């Protein structure tokens, strides 16, 4: 079974530039999450999708971050304009919908963003 795919793996941009990350979840997984993990911290949820609908985006800085999940499969996370404090690893995770199996989240390898 293929895992969660993310690209790019690394990105370096200057502040005020824009950047986009892509995630392809495990086939058939209805729930998709984007997390931000700052060095030395645990992941922080940015946004959760159920199919192509947003379930939770309470911690997403909406003035600069946006995310979409068209057709309920792939997802993109965009930052515009980037700030120095956005330097972090952006993790995508997916989970099946319904039942105890929905407890499990499967993480991708992450995209390491450096803002200079």
Partner 1 sequence: KNQVEQSPQSLIILEGKNCTLQCNYTVSPFSNLRWYKQDTGRGPVSLTIMTFSENTKSNGRYTATLDADTKQSSLHITASQLSDSASYICVGSGYSTLTFGKGTMLLVSP
Distance CA 115, CA 101 (A): 37
Return the residue of 1, 2, 40, 53 that touches partner 1, per CB under 8 A: 40
> Which CB atom, from 17 or from 30, has the smaller least distance to partner 1?
30
In the range 41-60, which residues lie near partner 1 by CB under 8 A?
Answer: 41-45, 55-56
Exposure letters 5-22 (e unless 16+ CB within 10 A, then b): ebeeeebebeeeeebebe
| 68 touches partner 1 by CB under 8 A | no
Listed ranges 14-22, 63-71, 74-82, 105-113: which one lies at the site for partner 1 (CB under 8 A): 105-113
- Asked whether position 109 contacts partner 1 by CB under 8 A, the answer is yes
């Amino acid at each position: 079974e293929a895992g969660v795919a993310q690209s790019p793996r690394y990105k370096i941009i200057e502040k005020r530039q824009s950047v986009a990350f892509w995630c392809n979840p495990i086939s058939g997984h209805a729930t998709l999450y984007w997390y931000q993990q700052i060095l030395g911290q645990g992941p922080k949820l940015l946004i959760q999708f159920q199919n192509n609908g947003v379930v939770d985006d309470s911690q997403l800085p909406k003035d600069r971050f946006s995310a979409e999940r068209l057709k309920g499969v792939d997802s993109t996370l965009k930052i515009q304009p980037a700030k120095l404090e956005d330097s972090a690893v952006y993790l995508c995770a997916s989970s099946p919908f319904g039942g105890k199996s929905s407890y499990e989240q499967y993480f991708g390898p992450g995209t390491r963003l450096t803002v200079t």
